[in-house]
Amino acid sequence: MHKGTKHTKKTGDEIVNSFFIPKETIREMNELNHKTAVNGKEHGMALCLSEDRKVVPGKSSVGDYVSIMVPETCKGKHDKYIGSYHTHPRPSETRFSAMDLLSSCDEESKIDCVGMNKKGEIECYIKRNQGKSCQDEAKPFVDIEDTYVYIDPVDRETVKTALLNAVDNFTEKKFKSKKIL
Ligand SMILES: [Zn+2]
């Protein structure tokens, strides 16, 4: 039915793998970056595929200072959930946290994007290949992340840095990424 749907890429639109992300969607993502800059909380929204095969915003949500639950709900009746977008107040980077990695390993997630606590930077991640092992391998990283609170603050930064680097390496192995803003 959608065969032959062709999008003409205009300035500001982006294509990540096979996903066409119109500039209107990127603008909405960037608005959430701005909200995070204002209140320091994570903001996010579902990413959905519209009937005409464009990546469009789904339902949005607000998290706290360190995490967020993004609804897997689309706005349009015929939109299909394909992933999520969320912002990072701190550290102000578009890298995956261990929890981001785990949730993006989920088979329902086809594309996941992360933004910063100021306007102008968004990075999208797509799995290199679909496999059950992604979640199994990502789980131990989350287990370590969950122990942060029990670690002596003196050692915490060292553990955090080591974990983030390990998550980075794993992310690079399993995902392709592209900055779309
Ligand atoms: Zn995150």
pTM of the model: 0.93
For the record, the structure tokens of 66 come out as 């360190």
Find the 8 Cα to ligand 1 centroid distance in Å. 31
Find the 68 Cα to ligand 1 centroid distance in Å. 8
User: So what's the pLDDT on residue 3?
Assistant: 54
- Average pLDDT, consecutive stretches of 10 residues, N- to C-terminus, the chain (181 residues): 70 95 98 96 98 97 95 97 95 88 95 93 93 91 91 90 94 96 94
Diameter of the chain measured on Cα atoms? 59
Find the 155 Cα to ligand 1 centroid distance in Å. 22
User: So what's the pLDDT on residue 149?
Assistant: 85
User: So what's the pLDDT on residue 130?
Assistant: 75
Hey, where are the domains in the chain? Answer: 14-179
User: So what's the pLDDT on residue 91?
Assistant: 67
Would you tell me how many other CB atoms lie within 10 Å of the CB of residue 83? 25
Find the 88 Cα to ligand 1 centroid distance in Å. 6
Find the 79 Cα to ligand 1 centroid distance in Å. 24
User: So what's the pLDDT on residue 84?
Assistant: 98
Find the 86 Cα to ligand 1 centroid distance in Å. 6
Find the 99 Cα to ligand 1 centroid distance in Å. 7
Find the 95 Cα to ligand 1 centroid distance in Å. 8
User: So what's the pLDDT on residue 5?
Assistant: 67
User: DSSP assignment of the chain, as one string?
Assistant: --TT---PPPTT-EEETTEEE-HHHHHHHHHHHHHHHHH---EEEEEEE-TTS-EEEEEEEE--SS--------SSTT-EEEEEEEE-SSS---PPPHHHHHHHHSTT-SEEEEE-SSTT-EEEEEESS--THHHHHHHHHHHHHTTGGGS-HHHHHHHHHHHHHHHHHHHHHHEEEEE--
Find the 80 Cα to ligand 1 centroid distance in Å. 22
Write down the CATH superfamily of domain 14-179. Answer: Cytidine Deaminase, domain 2 (3.40.140.10)
Find the 2 Cα to ligand 1 centroid distance in Å. 33
User: So what's the pLDDT on residue 39?
Assistant: 95
Find the 53 Cα to ligand 1 centroid distance in Å. 26
Find the 120 Cα to ligand 1 centroid distance in Å. 17
